[in-house]
Amino acid sequence: MSDRPLPTTRHLMRAGLPGVVGGVAVIAALLGLYLVLPEPTGDEAPWMVFVSIVVTAVIYSAGAVWSLLYITRARHPVRVGFITLAVMVTALVVIFALTYLSLSAEDASNFNVPLDKIDSLYFTMTILSTVGFGDIVASSNPARIAVMIQMVVGLTLLTALARVVLEAARRAARKRYGLDDGQAGFP
């Protein structure tokens, strides 16, 4: 057994536990909001679905910019960077799950099976993780286009977002701890 004392509340606060708990809370809130939102009925006007997606994308982008600015001022920039990345990936998953849910509600033949909220979330995760089990398949051109957009976004945006967020965290950590730009790795 170790004789190390248990961490105190002050130590946990300094270590950034509130930030981690906050990040987990935001992720839980995003998923909870997704699950409690009323399902689309298919009676919505197509322009309303488009406007909803655009508004969501603008909010997502604003959140990404705010997060990058916050990372540069954070006490624990690397930890905040990882939390930001987890929240942004979750938000992206929810955006695409809502898109697939709307497509399925509009026309059940857009997929080989009608999608509910869990099916949409599951399908989004299989596309994002590039597993693609094949049990749910896009079977119309609009659905295939949405899937292709998610594939491109998944490969490019998430890679770029990870790079930008972690580089901002690295720079902020270097500045905070007084490291040279030539020193590699996180402090």
Question: Quick one: tokens of 33?
Answer: 């909001």
Determine if residue 33 is left, alpha or beta; phi over 0 gives left, psi from -120 to 50 gives alpha, anything else beta: alpha
The number of helices, as runs of H, and strands, as runs of E, in the chain is 7, 0
Where in the chain does DSSP place strands (E)? none
What 3-state class would DSSP assign to 40?
A: coil
Q: Which amino acid is at 56?
A: T
SS3 138: strand
Nearest 10 degrees: Cα torsion 153, 157, 158, 163 = 160
Q: What is the pTM of this model?
A: 0.75
Residue of 53, 27, 29 lying closest to 40 (CA atoms): 53
Give how far the C-alpha of residue 22 lies from the chain's centroid of Cα atoms, to the nearest Å: 15
Q: Distance between CA atoms of 20 and 82, rounded to whole angstroms?
A: 9
- Nearest CA to 162 out of 57, 68, 98 is that of 68
Q: How far apart are CA 3 and CA 12, in angstroms?
A: 18
CATH topology of domain 45-172: Helix Hairpins (1.10.287)
What pLDDT shows up at residue 3? 65
Reference 167, options 75, 102, 99, 71; nearest CA is 71
Domain boundaries, the chain: 45-172
Apex 147 CA angle, 25 and 119, nearest 5: 55
Tokens coding 59? 């909010």
**What is the full per-residue pLDDT of the chain (187 aa) written as tens digits?**
556 665 566 665 666 677 778 888 888 988 898 888 888 777 766 677 677 777 777 888 888 788 888 888 877 777 788 888 888 888 889 989 988 998 898 888 999 999 999 999 999 999 988 887 888 999 989 889 989 988 888 888 778 877 887 788 778 878 877 766 555 454 4
Query: In this predicted structure, what is the pLDDT of residue 15?
Result: 63
What local confidence, expressed as pLDDT, does residue 187 receive? 47
pLDDT of residue 181: 58
**Residue labelled with tokens 């026309």:** 107
